[in-house]
């Protein structure tokens, strides 16, 4: 099956089995050197990527769902200006995810920030996710290295950085 999609800002044409999981495509066909999530059942949550701005487990996404999609891996995300908002939030909270889940949790935070950013632009108001929703979404990654209060503090700090960035842009 031929599938055209965008991965880390590069438009590519893949020829793969329609059921091949995205994590395998990233490791084998796109040769993402830093992507090494090898699970296939969604149990660990360490294979998170952004698919059309939504955090998903790449091991559960079949190739046919990639048609005309935009995929952002952690490697690609680190090259964006938005990466610094979350890294500064980790520093502010004096909490960091462990090395195993750092990439996945960072992308989940980014997905949440993009969600509230779209909501704020549509409604022209300040929109927040409640703390429970933030903690629940971070549960996509099963690692317990951060406690709920740390997750909330990191998210709120990153959201403040993102709001300031939008205000400066406008």
The residue extents of the domains of the chain are: 2-77, 83-169
Whether the Cβ atoms of residue 64 and residue 1 lie closer than 8 Å to each other: yes
pLDDT given for residue 35 in this prediction: 67
Sequence-ordered list of residues with C-beta below 8 angstroms from that of 145, at least 6 positions apart, any chain: 97, 98, 101
Whether the Cβ atoms of residue 74 and residue 106 lie closer than 8 Å to each other: yes
Torsion, Cα of 134, 136, 138, 140 (10° steps) = -150
CA 50 to mean position of chain CA atoms:
4
Strand spans (E) along 63-149:
70-72
Helix (H) or strand (E) holding 50: strand 48-51
pLDDT given for residue 108 in this prediction: 98
Kindly give the confidence (pLDDT) of every residue in the chain, 170 residues in length, as a single tens digit, with 9 standing for 90 and above: 999 999 999 999 999 999 999 999 998 888 776 666 667 678 888 999 999 999 999 999 999 999 999 999 999 999 999 999 999 999 999 999 999 999 999 999 999 999 988 776 665 555 568 999 999 999 999 999 999 999 999 999 999 999 998 877 66
Report the 10 Å Cβ neighbour count for 4. Answer: 12
Q: In what order do the strands lie in the sheet with 70-72?
A: 10-15, 2-7, 70-72, 48-51, 54-57
> Which of these, 59, 47, 48, 54, lies nearest to 69 by C-alpha position?
54
Local structure of residue 43 (DSSP, 8 states): S
CA angle 155, 24, 70 (to 5 degrees): 50
How far is it between the farthest Cα atoms of the chain?
A: 46
pLDDT given for residue 166 in this prediction: 80
Structural domain 2-77, CATH architecture: Roll (3.10)
Pairwise CA distance, residues 113 & 136, whole Å = 15
């Amino acid at each position: 099956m031929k599938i055209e999609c965008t991965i880390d800002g590069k438009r590519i044409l893949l020829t793969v089995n329609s059921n091949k999981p995205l994590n395998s495509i990233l490791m084998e066909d796109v040769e993402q050197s830093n992507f090494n999530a090898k699970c296939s059942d969604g149990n660990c949550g360490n294979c998170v990527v952004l698919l059309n701005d939504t955090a998903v487990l790449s091991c559960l996404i079949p190739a046919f769902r990639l048609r005309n999609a935009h995929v952002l891996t952690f490697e690609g995300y680190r090259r964006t200006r938005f990466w610094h908002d979350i890294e500064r939030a980790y520093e502010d909270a004096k909490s960091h995810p462990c090395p195993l889940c750092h990439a996945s949790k960072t992308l989940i935070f980014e997905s949440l920030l993009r969600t509230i950013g779209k909501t704020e632009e549509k409604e022209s108001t300040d929109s927040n996710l409640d703390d429970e929703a933030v903690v629940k979404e971070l549960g996509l990654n099963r690692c317990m290295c951060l406690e709920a209060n740390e997750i909330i503090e990191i998210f709120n700090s990153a959201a403040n950085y993102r709001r300031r960035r939008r205000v400066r842009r406008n």
